[in-house]
């Protein structure tokens, strides 16, 4: 009698794994420059957390969803569900969708493909630069702007795809984790369209506000879909201290405006530095992505000099976040110059 073997998908690699880097390269943890995550290194200055935020269970009547609806421009609080980081929604949503083929870009945020596979969906390749969805797609995932490739899909194309999928009983998931770093009119966000059928928008304040440790995100969709997602996730998904931090960050429009300007300048500085060394970056305000056959050698050359980046295999590429200080900019510039000098120009990964 044959025995069925259940195989657990391999863990998805993410940035921020400095302990692994420190052990692998023998460089103390505190000596690293971490450019591996794309999180704003100039995090929002969260005010002290009141004692009540620690003592009380989170209360859905505290106006937190309404606060997020105003910030994102969603129709109202009925179309917003706070979640424990968008990661929680990414893992739960596929099981709530009709089973079918899901179109996902070959290089995008790595948690989507295994989440759909675990829920029994087939996989199709999505070309986010094309005007049409692949034949047979029931669902589609678009990270906008994409992580790591920085590709941005126009709003009109996304809405057209949403209409096509909804007509089939399917869903378009648009992950806007990095959209906050753009001015609202430049973000191409679909948050205002959250009432449309066949659409789920995911937002993550951790990237732009630099508070990823709060583990707070939001799903924006029709109320019935959010009710099903809430039932799957359970109660109290976002704790009191995180709600306190995010509420203050959303209200601080002066900080948001100043920070978007700073990130634009830092992004231009990063692009210029990479270009000065013969690299061709594609950028968002929070990270730059370089596709290059020497990617692995560059990643390892920087690691040996205490700079941690994110390496991708196909295509061979490296993602660079932003240095946090003038000292880090100088150290990164020197490490990049040394690493590039050590590369064999003809080397292929």
Q: Is the pLDDT reported for residue 3 higher than 60?
A: no
Asked whether residue 293 falls in the same domain as residue 184, the answer is: no
Residue (of 109, 194, 149) closest to 291 by Cα position:
149
- Domain end point (choices 221, 251, 281): 251
pLDDT of 200 > 90? The answer is yes
For residues 341 and 301, give the distance between their C-alpha atoms in angstroms, rounded to a whole number.
Answer: 10
Q: Which of 251, 277, 293 is the last residue of a domain?
A: 251
CATH value at residue 196? 3.40.640.10
In terms of domains, do 203 and 329 share one? Answer: no
Do 272 and 189 lie in a common domain? no
pLDDT in tens, 268-321: 999 999 999 999 999 999 999 999 999 999 999 999 999 999 999 999 999 999
Q: Is the peptide bond before 98 cis (omega within 30 degrees of 0)?
A: no
Q: What is the CA radius of gyration of the chain?
A: 21
pLDDT in tens, 123-147: 999 998 888 999 999 999 999 999 9
pTM over 0.75: yes
Q: Indicate whether 301 and 223 sit together in one domain.
A: no
Q: Which phi-psi region, left, alpha or beta, contains residue 324 (left: φ > 0; alpha: ψ -120 to 50)?
A: alpha
Query: Above 90 in pLDDT, residue 5?
Result: no
């Amino acid at each position: 009698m044959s025995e069925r073997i259940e195989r657990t998908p391999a863990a998805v690699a993410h940035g921020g794994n400095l302990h692994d880097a420190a052990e692998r390269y023998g460089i103390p943890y505190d000596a690293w420059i971490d450019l591996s995550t794309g999180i704003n290194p100039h995090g929002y200055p969260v005010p002290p957390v009141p004692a009540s935020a620690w003592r009380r269970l989170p209360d859905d009547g505290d106006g937190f969803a309404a606060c997020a609806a105003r910030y994102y421009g969603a129709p109202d609080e009925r179309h917003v569900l706070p979640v424990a980081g968008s990661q929680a929604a990414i893992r739960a949503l596929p099981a709530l969708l009709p089973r079918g083929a899901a179109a996902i870009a070959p290089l995008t945020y790595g948690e989507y493909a295994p989440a759909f596979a675990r829920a029994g969906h087939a996989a199709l390749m999505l070309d986010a630069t094309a005007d049409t969805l692949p034949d047979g797609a029931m669902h589609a995932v678009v990270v906008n702007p994409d992580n790591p490739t920085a590709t941005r899909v126009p709003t009109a194309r996304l809405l057209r795809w949403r209409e096509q999928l909804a007509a089939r009983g399917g869903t378009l998931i648009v992950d806007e984790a990095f959209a906050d770093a753009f001015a609202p009119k430049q973000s191409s966000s679909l948050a205002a369209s959250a009432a449309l059928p066949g659409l789920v928008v995911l937002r993550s304040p951790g990237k732009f506000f630099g508070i990823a440790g709060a583990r707070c995100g939001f799903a924006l969709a029709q109320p019935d879909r959010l009710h099903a997602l809430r039932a799957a996730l359970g109660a109290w998904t976002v704790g009191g201290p995180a709600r306190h931090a995010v509420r203050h960050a959303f209200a601080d429009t002066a900080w948001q405006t100043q920070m978007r300007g700073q990130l634009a300048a830092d992004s231009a500085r990063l692009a210029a530095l990479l270009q000065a060394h013969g690299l061709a970056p594609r950028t968002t305000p929070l990270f730059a992505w370089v596709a290059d056959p020497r990617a692995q050698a560059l990643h390892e050359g920087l690691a040996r000099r205490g700079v941690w980046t994110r390496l991708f295999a196909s295509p061979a590429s490296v993602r660079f976040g932003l240095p946090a200080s003038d000292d880090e900019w100088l150290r990164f510039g020197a490490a990049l110059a040394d690493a590039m000098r050590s590369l064999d120009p003809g080397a292929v990964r």
